[in-house]
Amino acid sequence: MNTIQHIALVGNPNCGKTSLFNQLTGARQKVANYAGVTVERKEGFLTLASGRHVRILDLPGAYSLDATSPDEAVTRAVCLGELAGEALPDLLVCVIDATNLRLHLRFALEIRRLGRPMVIALNMMDDARRRGIQIDVAKLSHALGVPVIETVAVKRHGAADLLKAFENQIPRAPLIAEDAEQNDIHAQVRALLAETVVMPRTTDQRDDALDAVLLHPVFGLAILATLMFFVFQAVFTWAAPFMDGIGYTVAAVSDWTTSFLADGMLKSLLKDGIFAGLGTVLTFLPQILILFFFILMLEESGYLPRAAFLLDRLMFGAGLTGRAFIPLLSSFACAIPGIMATRSISDPRDRLTTIMVAPLMTCSARLPVYALLISAFIPVKTVWGLFNLQGLVLFALYFGGIISALLVALVMKRFRRDQSDHALLMELPSYRLPSWRSVGIGLYERATIFIKRVGGIILSLIVILWFLAYFPQPPAGATLPPIDYSFAGQIGHVIAPIFAPIGFTWEICIALIPGLAAREVVVAALGTVYALSGNEDAVSHQLGSLIAGQWSLPTALSLLAWFIFAPQCLATMATVRRETGSWKYVGIMALYLFSLAYGASLITYHVAEALL
């Protein structure tokens, strides 16, 4: 037996595996994709009490080694040592939910059949004890032939015994005899439960009481709508002081840094390009983190699958299923993970429909644009004595995206030939208090991803846009702002007639171009364009006030309507190509999104002009 160097965590979805991974590795983890596929790869490191360093993989959740999805295929390949570039793990830690052994022991028995060194982490033991579930751990370990260790992944020292086990040599799981191998795995689970577990009732009394309200067809939907409404109110109300702080800090750093430089190209690049662009985008980090805080809390509490169940009937009427809810909710963060999450939808027809409408969910990249326009054009006031008007507008924009997705799905349902029904079958985990540690790590990961985008692709695009907006310099005797004579100015004036019917100025047209790479760049691009238009001081302090003085309200409303449907970023299109295997669907998506965006903006602009 060799010393343990590589460990892989495996288990069913909702077993607490990722919480255990966070408990073991903390922030010492890296997130990437496996080579050749878009399945997320989470790798972390820990140092044992003996000083030995151990690498840990958090494998995608799986219900069986008979893979039915790309995620399960990766888990199977890693466990068998068949994945190119990934070493065979020295130890498999199978995480199972102690409150749902009937389901989770099936996968543990499959893992045991591999005959690899194995430990079972009997997770959520605190919930099991609270429900009066008695598990004879020693007898269960003896029956399985592998170590069984109790864990509470959400508690600070809930994995202490597991860490001690990593210090020791773990034997291989016993190989199953030929006649036993042929036994029904469900019968084996029933025998194990009868021998080692005493369960007062099959379901949790607390879960049943909460579900009676939260899954009620009327009260449940009302609570869900209220919850979502509260989230969008909080995004605007709570983030304001933090946004102001970031804005003033970036402006102060910009002023101080460029005060040592003489006027010229370098000073313009730093002040008008980098600080004006990046500073504007960074301002919206608090709103993104507040939105993700609520999404992570709902996910950790076990409420999200119930929201999917609640919405199944409504979504089915529009040609979707409740299984589409979580991919669509993920699309509020970014359409790319949302589209990738559709792999959990087994029906190809439902999966394709979900992929096609996922970009209509308002991703976090649109939030900076919404926030900028709402702050500039919607007054800060309280309506009906309770609600923030800006928050109401933001909620309406998100709601507009959801309604649009349902309508597009309904149209797709009418056009397709297969009208058969599909039942929704999904596991509802027990309610539990969210782990602050997991929520904190999730927010850290989200902030890191956003800042990396700001420092990577967004910075690159800002520098390119600055170059296009700075060169060539205006001729002698020029009377217009320098940007009018630049490459960007010329491009903007060429395409401006196309967007003039919907009220867009040529400055907006310029900003839309880099927005094809990442939509939050639109805000940074506006900052750069207006800074090079002779308004650098105004931009450095408040871009919103500047555009409020130069744009009409119909133009601002038209741009808001545009971004409900805005044609997707190139990365999303590439993901759709990879997931569908066809450029045809990429073309259909780009065409229908552009048509909807242009049509909605055209109607909004002219109706607003007629009424205002």
Helices 367-377 and 543-550 pack at an angle, to 10 degrees, of 60
For residue 248, what are its two tokens? 């003033």
Under DSSP, the state recorded for 172 is B
Q: Does position 473 have pLDDT exceeding 70, yes or no? A: yes
194's tokens? 């009868």
Element (H or E) spanning 609, and its range? helix 583-611
Higher pLDDT, 420 or 397: 397
pLDDT at 292 over 70: yes
Pairing of strands 134-135, 197-198: antiparallel
How many CA within 13 A on the CB side of residue 553?
9
R_g (Cα) of the chain, nearest Å: 27
CA distances from 154 to 282, 290, 431, 567 (A): 31, 22, 13, 41
> 107: Cβ–Cβ under 8 A, 6 or more apart, which residues?
10, 11, 12, 62, 63, 64, 65, 94, 96
Q: Which residue has the tokens 């991919």?
A: 327
Tokens of 219: 């009260």
Q: What span, in angstroms and rounded, lies between the C-alpha atoms of 10 and 187? A: 22
| Phi, psi values for residue 193, rounded to 5° | -65, -40
Give the mean model confidence (pLDDT) for residues 524-531: 71
Average pLDDT over the chain, rounded to an integer: 81
What is the predicted pLDDT for the residue at 532?
Answer: 63
Please write the tens of the pLDDT for every residue from 592-604.
999 999 999 999 9
pLDDT at 10: 93
Helical residues (DSSP H) of 454-535, grouped into ranges: 459-470, 487-499, 506-512, 521-530
Using the predicted structure, report yes or no on whether residue 240 has a pLDDT greater than 80: no
Which phi and psi (to 5°) does residue 7 adopt? -125, 140
More confident residue, 96 or 484: 96
Percent of the chain having pLDDT more than 90?
19
Give the whole-number percent of the chain exceeding pLDDT 70. 87
Residue 424: CB atoms within 10 A of its CB come to 14
Q: Kindly state the average pLDDT of the residues 168-179.
A: 73
Tell me the residue type at 447. Answer: A
What does the pLDDT read at residue 518? Answer: 63
Give the Cβ contact number of residue 77 at 10 Å: 18
Return phi, psi of residue 242, to 5°.
-70, -40
Mean pLDDT on 104-111: 92
Please, are residues 573 and 590 in contact by the beta-carbon 8 Å criterion? yes
Residue of 276, 278, 264 whose CA lies nearest to 538:
276
DSSP string, 391-410: HHHHHHHHHHHHHHHHHHHH
Does residue 536 have a pLDDT over 70? no
Given a cut of 70, whether residue 36 has pLDDT beyond it is no
Q: What is the mean pLDDT of residues 30-58?
A: 74
Q: pTM for this one?
A: 0.68
* pLDDT per position as a tens digit, 540-598: 556 777 788 888 999 999 999 998 887 777 777 877 887 787 889 989 999 999 999 99
Cβ atoms of 166 and 138 within 8 Å: the answer is no
The residue written with tokens 């430089």 in the block is 261
